[in-house]
Structure formats: C-alpha cells, structure tokens
C-alpha cells in the first residue's frame, strides 16, 4: 500500500524534531513525505534560540501547492505558531478531503521554550479541534486547552480527555509521560470507548522530538490499520524502539534525538 503523508509544522535545524523528524518517521514507516512549513525555528538539542513565523498567506500557498497536486492519505499538524496560521490550516482541512488528520498540540518545546502564542490556544481549540481525527496532547497541553491544572493521575487524564472530546475532535490520545510513575501511561478516548496503553520508561536523556515522532508515526500508519487503537499500538512500538536506540547516536550537547532509523543503522 502506497501512502502519501503531509506534515504541517516548524523546522528543527538539528534534525530531531519538527518537519525533519516527521519526514524521517514517515520514511521509516513506508510513507512518502510531503511538507508545509509554518515557522523557521533556530533550535538545537539545548533549546530554542529564535522563531521566525512564516507569513500566513505563504503557509496557505504551500498548502494549496501540495493539496491541489498530491493525493494525501493522511496528515500530521505540529507547530502552528500563531492564530493566523491556525486559521489558515483549519480552512484547508475544511476545503480538502484528507481521510486522517493528526493534531500534535505543540505549545512548548522539550527545553521549555514556547512554540505557540498564548492567544492562539483559543483558535486551536475552537477552529481546529473540530476538524481533526485525533489530537495527541501531553498533560500540560491538555490543561492549557481546557483552562485547568494538569492532570496528576490517570483518572484525571481520562476526565480531561472526555472534556477534549466534547470540544469536537473525533479521538484523543492523552499522553501521560509527565506522570511520575515507572511506566508511561497513555489513554485513547473516542466515542467507541477508552483504551489504556503503557510503555516502560527508558533511562535516557535523549528524548528530543518524541511528540513530533509519535504524531508523525500515527499519521503514517493510520491508513494501514483498521482503527486508531491498533495504529496507536504500532506507533508506540516504533517510538519505543527509537528511544531505546537513541543513545547510539551522538547528536548535540543537550537532549539528543530519538533514532528514527533504528531498523536500518
């Protein structure tokens, strides 16, 4: 099965997150990658040094360039930077028929640097969530979308996931990596039900780009699987192996990237 996938996101010159990570994950999982760039981000394994947001009209032009020409089976949305770009992407989702759209609610980089203007959170919540197939918030992002404090346990995770579903998205993958447990629990919630997934925590500092990589993997794999539950299981397995192999790389002085091509080298 040939899959064309699209990533709509910002850049990472060090190659571990953003557009670069998405395209690596697409390729590793057998999907042809296309891209629309929303922001040029000067960042590396030690943090974000500068952000240059692309003019919304040019983001729109890129979207039309890809979607008018290439049949896209699935797409992933990452960093959107501001409310104007959120609006442009939301309009594109309404205009073009793409079977699966995964929204990684990128707000803060692994280093703690902001990647979404505070005033854009409302636009993300009201304009974009109702038009995507799956959102993948971590606990601080879910709390920001709901205007509450982050969940401190799995019951609160599930409750907040239900509140996000009520905002109009089709499914929510609540990521529990911020909980202080020996395993990292995730909850997939949809109208069909709720399902728990867990991964053993790996002793490594090299986790740069894990959120980007997971959402890209979900987009790349969804056309191959019958539902989100089996897709999540396959995507998490790929990411777990990428994290396990992360220390075999030697990239940067800070939080290094996961190894997207662990199957090959």
Catalytic residues: 175, 207, 209-212
Q: What does the alpha-carbon distance between residue 13 and residue 42 come to, in Å, rounded to a whole number? A: 7
- Regarding beta strands 193-200 and 183-190, do their DSSP bridges make them parallel or antiparallel, or are they unpaired? antiparallel
Report the C-alpha dihedral over residues 46, 107, 184, 171, rounded to 10 degrees.
-150
Q: What does the alpha-carbon distance between residue 151 and residue 238 come to, in Å, rounded to a whole number? A: 26
> Is residue 142 within 8 Å of 178, Cβ to Cβ?
no
Token pair for 147: 């205007």
* Alpha carbon separation from 156 to 176, 179, 233, 248 (Å, rounded): 11, 11, 22, 36
Question: Buried b vs exposed e over 173-212: b needs ≥16 C-beta within 10 Å?
Answer: bbbbeebeeeebbbbbbbeeeebebebeeeeeebbbbbbb
């Amino acid at each position: 099965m040939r899959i064309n996938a699209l990533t709509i996101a910002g850049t990472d010159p060090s190659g571990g997150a953003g557009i670069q990570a998405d395209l690596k994950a697409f390729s590793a999982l057998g999907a042809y990658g296309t891209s629309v760039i929303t922001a040029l981000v000067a960042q590396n394994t030690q943090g974000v040094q500068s952000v240059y947001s692309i003019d919304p009209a040019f983001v729109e032009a890129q979207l039309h360039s890809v979607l008018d020409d290439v049949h896209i089976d699935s797409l992933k949305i990452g960093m959107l930077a501001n409310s104007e770009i959120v609006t442009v992407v939301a309009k594109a989702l309404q205009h073009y028929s793409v079977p699966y759209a995964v929204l990684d609610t990128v707000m803060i980089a692994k280093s703690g640097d902001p990647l979404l203007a505070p005033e854009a959170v409302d636009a993300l919540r009201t304009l974009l969530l109702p038009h995507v197939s799956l959102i993948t918030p971590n606990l601080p992002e879910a709390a920001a979308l709901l205007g509450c404090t982050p969940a401190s346990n799995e019951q609160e995770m599930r409750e907040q996931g239900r509140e996000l579903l009520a905002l109009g998205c089709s499914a929510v993958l609540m990521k529990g990596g911020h909980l202080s447990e020996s395993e990292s629990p995730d909850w997939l919630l949809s109208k069909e039900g709720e399902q728990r997934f867990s991964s053993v925590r790996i002793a490594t500092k090299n986790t740069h780009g894990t959120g980007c990589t997971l959402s890209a993997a979900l987009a790349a794999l969804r056309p191959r699987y019958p539902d989100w539950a089996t897709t999540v299981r396959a995507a998490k397995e790929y990411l777990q192996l990428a994290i396990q192999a992360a220390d075999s790389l030697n990239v940067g002085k800070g939080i290094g990237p996961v190894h997207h091509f662990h199957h090959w080298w």
